Structure 1
Amino acid sequence: MEHLTGTLALTFATFAISAFSVWVAGARLAYLADALSDRMKLAKSVVGLVFLSTATSLPEIATTLTAAVQEARALVLNNLFGGIALQTAILAMSDFWAHGAITNYPRKANHALEATLLVLMLGVVIVVLMLGEPLSFGGVGIGSVIIALVYAGALWLLRTYDGANDWVPVDLPDPDPLPFPAPTGLADASTPNLITQALIACGAILVFGFLLVISAERLAVQTGLGTSFVGVTLLAAATSLPELTTSITAVRMGAYTLAISNIFGSNLIMLVLVFPADILFRDGPILRTDAPMVIASLGFAIVVTAIFLTGLLIRRKPKVGAVGVDSVLVLISFAASLFVYYQLR
């Protein structure tokens, strides 16, 4: 018993140190992404959707592909799909650092389009699950291929739409970001230096994020909670920590579009990761499952995304204190999802 307690304490310590390291690297990456978007004259929504979301998804990518090779179907799917509701809840939590509801600030329909395409992809995944992946080629299901194609089409549409001006909001509050100075010397740093720092931050997120995942898996065994429940809760939280720190930092800087695109972009990546996972998973199509927790996590992902989509479309929404009611509803929905996951474990 004493040995087990010591091992558990060591696992918790590894988890805590890795979490702190990911937090620091993620916060720095948010500053660097904001500086690079200004330096290279790129829209912050594009930087958040493509660069920041990919960088903060590195732990999910490493975890998913490793678990797929180990043929841990439940861990792969629960981590990916459970992480979507969690990351959307992260965006809701970052609303506490914004001036007013965060969904009031976007001036274009990019984020509403991101949310709509995310709901579309979630619907496709549910249909594939219900059909049980009837067709496969070399062990790879046709459904995961379709998901990858839909993702590619979504990226193309979002990139094309970024320059459009056919949706113009009227009479909106002017953005009033919190005063939060960037790190000293960032504005004077050269572009190669900024890129180098960003790569170092990405490397730190990957390494410590992977340690975070390993310690979370060990906690699942040592605490007896099981991989399904831990996969959809603790493991999803561990791999979503970079999104948490980058989103909060971006909002504190007033880079609201960067924060929103970071989360929606990460959620889209969570879905398309099904395709490479299916290639590495050799025990048949990875989406050939009827696990209730997988279906529930997809359902909650649709709920929280639809709530924020509604918030993006309804500009004058009520607030609860300084937080938008949409963020409050997302947090309530996420809390409900945890209760449901625990019942289904």
Structure 2
Amino acid sequence: MTLPATSLYQTMLLFALCATIVWYAGARLAYLVDSLADRYKLAKSLVGLLILSLATSLPEVATTLTAAVQQASDLVLNNLFGGITLQTAILAMSDFWARGAITNYPRKANHALEATLLVLLLSITLIVVHLGETFVMAGVGLGSVFIALTYAGAIWILRRYDDSTDWVPVDLPDPDPLPFPAPTGLAERGNHALILQSVAACAAILVFGLLLVLCAERIADQSGLGTGFIGVTLLAGATSLPELTTSITAVRIGAYTMAISNIFGSNLIMLVLVFPADVLFRSGPILQNTSQTVSMALSFGIAVTAIYLIGLIVRRKPKWGPIGLDSILVLIVFIGSLLAYYYVR
């Protein structure tokens, strides 16, 4: 997929158009997945972790694998790891639409476990980045293989823990959804029609998400800001747009656990994509000789995830208006990360 010759102004207009389409498709997908979860009696946290997160991560998957084939390791890693902090900040932004702190809503320890496993995987990746890939087989580093295996183990643990009830929080907020109407006619549609619409929304997210990525890359060249800074800001933002719209929509209809699992699940996918990217990257292990921005992105990812982990455990926490203190701190860290990325660009 290539873009015709455009000026910087035209590229920005095309970026805005694609962003609008992705926004609508992501919002529609959140409605559809929520309805299907109700009809098939599936846990919203599990649906967000395994289905919605994968659907909204399609642009990241395509972008990562394409950049790896093109041997653009810096763009691959900055896009993946920079997106983790951004997507966690998206969860913080969706808190504006929640009734009270969003981390007060989970009724089981699933989300705290998701955050803990995400911190573990981020820490392992950071260790591999600092140590370098000592053991290499067929051009693939042992570190990226271990990350993929750890991800598989994390999903297995989360799947087995889904039905557990040995940890019960207190002072739970009202579980009733917000009075926000679903799209007209959605309730009258059959399951087959909802599934087809979900597939169509995923296709729109993939196609126009990829166009967003191409526009972001061209803006990086035309503006002179470079792929390092653009990779962890505009490009990460472009590929994270589906998570933004689906998370906000999920919160508006009261599907809080689905919104949280969508973000944590997407961040886990960002890390496991290192392995297929390493396989396609033929210039050596992709986690070897990385830039300073990569380490910073992983560190910021650990910080924002740990903040939400604390928020999930501490039920009584200060609020600023309707927003939880944890979401405020996440947004502050995210803004600080942008300043740090610009400083070391």
TM-score interval (norm. to shorter): over 0.9
For 2:200, the equivalent position in structure 1 comes to 200
Secondary structure at the residue paired with 2:184?
Answer: coil
Does the 8 Å CA contact 1:115/1:309 hold for their aligned counterparts?
yes
More deviation, 172-181/254-263: 172-181
| Unmatched segments (≥5 aa) in structure 1 | none
Distance 2:266 2:8 in 1: 31
Deviations 1:3-60 (A, max 9, x none): xx96111211110111000000000000001001001110000100000000000000
Tell me how far 1:73 sits from its aligned partner. Answer: 0.6
Whether 2:322 is the aligned partner of 1:322: answer yes
Match for 1:315: what amino acid?
R
Q: CA deviation digits over 1:313-336, x for unaligned, max 9?
A: 000100011100000000000000
Give runs of ≥4 in structure 1 deviating > 4 Å. none
Q: Which residue matches 1:169? A: 169
Three-state SS of the structure 2 residue aligned to 1:115 is helix
What amino acid sits opposite 1:68 in the alignment? A
Which aligned pairs between 1:88-237 and structure 2 lie closer than 5 A? 88-237=88-237
Q: Which one is further off, 173-182 or 144-153? A: 173-182
Once the two structures are TM-superposed, the CA of residue 178 in structure 1 deviates from its matched residue by: 2.0
TM-score when scaled to structure 2? 0.98
Q: Distance in 2 between matches of 1:308 and 1:170?
A: 18
Q: Distance in 1 between matches of 2:323 and 2:211?
A: 34
- Counterpart in the other structure of 1:334: 334
8 Å Cα contact 1:99-1:176 kept in structure 2: no
The DSSP-based 3-state class of the residue aligned with 1:233 is: helix
Percent identity over paired residues = 70
Greater Cα offset, 7-16 or 174-183 = 174-183
Structure 2: distance between partners of 1:108 and 1:77? 33
- Residue of structure 2 equivalent to 1:70: 70
CA distance in 1, matches of 2:116, 2:75: 27
Q: Secondary structure at the match of 1:163?
A: coil
CA distance in 2, matches of 1:56, 1:264: 12
CA distance in 2 between partners of 1:131 and 1:317 (Å): 38
Judged with a 3 Å threshold, the aligned counterparts in structure 2 of structure 1 residues 148 and 251 are, in CA distance, closer, same or farther, namely same
Deviation digits for residues 175-202 of structure 1 (CA, Å, limit 9, x no counterpart): 2432111112211211111110000000
Q: 1:255 to 1:162 in 2, by over 3 A?
A: same
Letter in 1 for 2:67: A
Distance 2:231 2:11 in 1: 17
Could you tell me which residue of structure 2 aligns to residue 304 of structure 1?
Answer: 304
User: How many residue pairs end up in the alignment?
Assistant: 341
* Cα shift at 1:174: 2.0
Compared with structure 1, are the counterparts of its residues 148 and 6 closer, same or farther at alpha carbon in structure 2 (3 Å cutoff)?
Answer: closer
Shift of 1:130: 1.4
AA partner of residue 194 (structure 1) = L
Distance 2:296 2:6 in 1: 36
Q: Which amino acid in structure 1 is aligned with residue 46 of structure 2? A: V
1:98–1:177 contact (8 Å) kept in structure 2:
no
Letter in structure 1 aligned against 2:95: D
Q: Give the deviation of 1:172 after TM superposition.
A: 2.1
Conservation of the 8 A alpha-carbon contact between 1:69 and 1:281: yes
CA distance in 1, matches of 2:337, 2:325: 18
CA deviation after TM superposition for structure 1 residue 168, in Å: 1.1
CA apart distance, 1:290: 3.7
Once the two structures are superposed, residues 148-194 of structure 1 have per-residue CA deviations (whole angstroms, 9 ceiling, x without a partner) of 00000000100100011110112322224321111122112111111
Whether contact under 8 Å (2:216, 2:235) holds in the other structure is yes
Flag the 1:135–1:333 CA change in 2: closer, same or farther, 3 A.
same
* 3-state SS of paired residue (1:209): helix
Q: Which amino acid aligns with 2:264?
A: F
Q: What residue ranges of structure 2 are gaps of 5+ in the alignment?
A: none
Rounded Cα–Cα distance in structure 2 between residues aligned with 1:170 and 1:68:
46
Once superposed, what is the RMSD of the aligned Cα atoms?
1.0
* Aligned 8 A contact 2:105 2:175 in 1: yes
Q: What is the rounded CA distance, in whole Å, between the counterparts of 1:161 and 1:11 in structure 2?
A: 46
Structure 2 counterpart of 1:281: 281
Task: Find the residue that maps to 2:7 and give its secondary structure.
Answer: helix
Structure 1 equivalent of residue 82 of structure 2:
82
Match of 2:254 in 1: 254
The one-letter code of the counterpart of 1:297 is A
1:29 maps to which residue?
Answer: 29
Q: Is the 8 A contact 2:170 2:315 kept in 1?
A: no
**Which residue identity does 1:234 align to in structure 2?**
L
